[in-house]
Structures are given as structure tokens and as C-alpha cells.
Structure 1
């Protein structure tokens, strides 16, 4: 296994694999209310079996080169993650996403982790377009898209039914030719 340092304080990006199902569930339990405000992951991972099933699904996506999931650890505790929810290497398009529990918010970990993931996708896998779909009310995730140098392309009005309410989804993206030039912003 590998780990990529995200800061000088011991935060790391690592593959999030099925054998970490219990740790993943404990992480979801700590951040469920916070994560669940906008991300369905909190409702999908509710017990050990659903945690294992979710991570196994991403193991299959990794094996078929159609998605990826990585965890963010701080002081050896899983505190968040980044994903390629979808990845079509033939088309050169991937959809990135993230989540974080409150204890790790505000440290720039998601932005740095996403940079690692997008660098890999563009440089190693030849992905041309990385998309970011975010609920219009999720200011923190929109801020990450901005820091990643993404462009807001539009809004899919009331396209995401979640917890009994329909949400607008903003679509952001960055293209490979613009990625190396995308400088971090505050």
C-alpha cells in the first residue's frame, strides 16, 4: 500500500479498500450528520455490511478502471475521502467528489487530496475533463471546485432528489489543457 503526504502534520491520502470497512463505518458514524447534509454516502453506509459493500463496489470500479476511492487520514484516523465516482478513460471524462468529517474541516486537506487525484487522472490516465457535481447549497464543496481552478458550467435545476427535497446541482469542470495552469487560490 502507499500513502501520499498531504501536509506537514501527518495527514495522508491512501487507498480506501474493503478491508477497512469497520474503520470506514466508524468514520461515517462520527461525521454522519455533517456529511449527510449534502452527500448520500451518509445514508448508504449505515452498518458494517453496507460499509463493506460500498468499498467493494469501488474495488470493482478500480479493477475495471471506472472509478477510484481514497481516504484522507489525519493522525492515523480516517477523516474524509476523495473519489472518482465515475471514470470513462475512453471518453476521457471523470467525475470527482469528496467528503470530510467536521474535525478535519478548514485545513485544505480535501483540496490537496483532489489535486493528487486529478494530477493522476490527467497525467497517468489521460483524462481530458474532470467534472464536479455539487448541491448548490454546499458552499464548502463549491469553494473546493474554485480552489481547483474549475469553471462553473451551469445548474441542473432541481435534478437531485435527496431526503425528500429536490436540490439544484451545479456542474463545474476543469480540462486537461487548463489543469497544469490551474493555480491554487485561497
Structure 2
């Protein structure tokens, strides 16, 4: 449907949809261990059926206006994704998230892609608060939040069990007035 360039390095943002399940599964397989350090996605996407099902859940969320999913392509290869895991236009809140395979890490792709998402959420949908929730200790994700001008709201200690161990979440956020002000001065 659309492609949004993320710079002049061949990076693009595009919708990620169920018909792309084979490409999505190949991408997850390439980055399974790396992605799975902090994100449960590789545990959910293990074969073509589960890949298609996961993508369909986000297609259904988009249809219900409760989430969105986009892939990050670099030189035509799917290397990661960004999403609105939660999207509540009525309350004016959403939660953005991401994942990336190792070959694409360190290029600023996630930061650039999430900027596009936040711009759309704030400017087009009237979202007031964008959250970024990360597993405590996930320094690259915290660095993205910092680059986006988010504020660390706090830590939810021992919030969830991931692969048999308790983990804490850090919650970061940016409010629409802060986002707009930073864009004007940045």
C-alpha cells in the first residue's frame, strides 16, 4: 500500500501483513536469538502458521483501531518492525514497540521508524501520551527512548515471567505537547 523512506540508506517503513508471513518467518529465524533476548516474539512465531496468525492478529487490531504493525526493510530485506502494541484513540494513549535482527542494529532504524509512528499518532490521531515499555536492562531500547525525548516514568518491578525468570519493566513516555515542542526546536 505504501512505503515510507527512513533516510537515504535504503531503509523503508511499510505495513507488515499476513500475506508476508513467509518473509516474516525468515526474518524472525535470522534474528531469533538476538530478538528473543528481550522480546517474546520468537517464542510465538515458530512456523509459517504461527507467523501468519501473529500477523493476522495485528491486521485485526488495525481493523479495530486498537493496534498497528509495520516492517522495516533495508535494501529490500525485512530486518525488523515497529508497532503500536496498544492503541486507544478514545483515551489518547498508545504503546509503541519494536524488534530488530542483529545485522540491522546500530543504524538508527528503530528511532527513525518510531518517529514516523509518533508523528502520525500525535498529528493525525490526536494521541496525547505515547508509551515505550522495555525490559529493564535492555539498554538499546532505553537509548531509543532517550533519543526520542521520552521521560522514564518508572520501573514496574518483577512484573512478568519471561523464559522462567522474573523481569522488571521500565516505562517511558512522551506527551504530545513535549513531542511537538521538541520537533519545533530540534
Q: Into which bin does the TM-score normalised by the smaller protein fall?
A: over 0.9
Please give the alpha-carbon distance, in whole angstroms, between the structure 2 residues aligned to 1:37 and 1:182. 31
TM-score, normalising length from structure 2?
0.97
Counterpart position of 2:82? 82
CA deviation profile, 1:36-95 (whole Å, cap 9, x unmatched): 000011111110000000000000000111000000000100000000000000000000
Give the superposed CA RMSD: 0.7
Instruction: Tell me whether 1:30 sits opposite 2:20 in the alignment.
Output: no
TM-score, normalising length from structure 1?
0.97
Please give the alpha-carbon distance, in whole angstroms, between the structure 2 residues aligned to 1:21 and 1:141. 25
Instruction: Tell me whether 1:181 sits opposite 2:181 in the alignment.
Output: yes
Query: Can you give the 5+ residue segments of structure 2 that lack an aligned partner in the other structure?
Result: none
Point out 4+ residue stretches in structure 1 off by more than 3 angstroms: none
Please give the alpha-carbon distance, in whole angstroms, between the structure 2 residues aligned to 1:2 and 1:134. 29
* Number of matched pairs: 183
Query: Can you give the 5+ residue segments of structure 1 that lack an aligned partner in the other structure?
Result: none
Please give the alpha-carbon distance, in whole angstroms, between the structure 2 residues aligned to 1:41 and 1:180. 32
Please give the alpha-carbon distance, in whole angstroms, between the structure 2 residues aligned to 1:86 and 1:77. 26
Instruction: Tell me whether 1:162 sits opposite 2:162 in the alignment.
Output: yes
Secondary structure of 2:60's partner?
helix
Instruction: Tell me whether 1:60 sits opposite 2:63 in the alignment.
Output: no
Counterpart position of 2:134? 134
Cα distance, 1:182 vs. partner?
Answer: 2.8
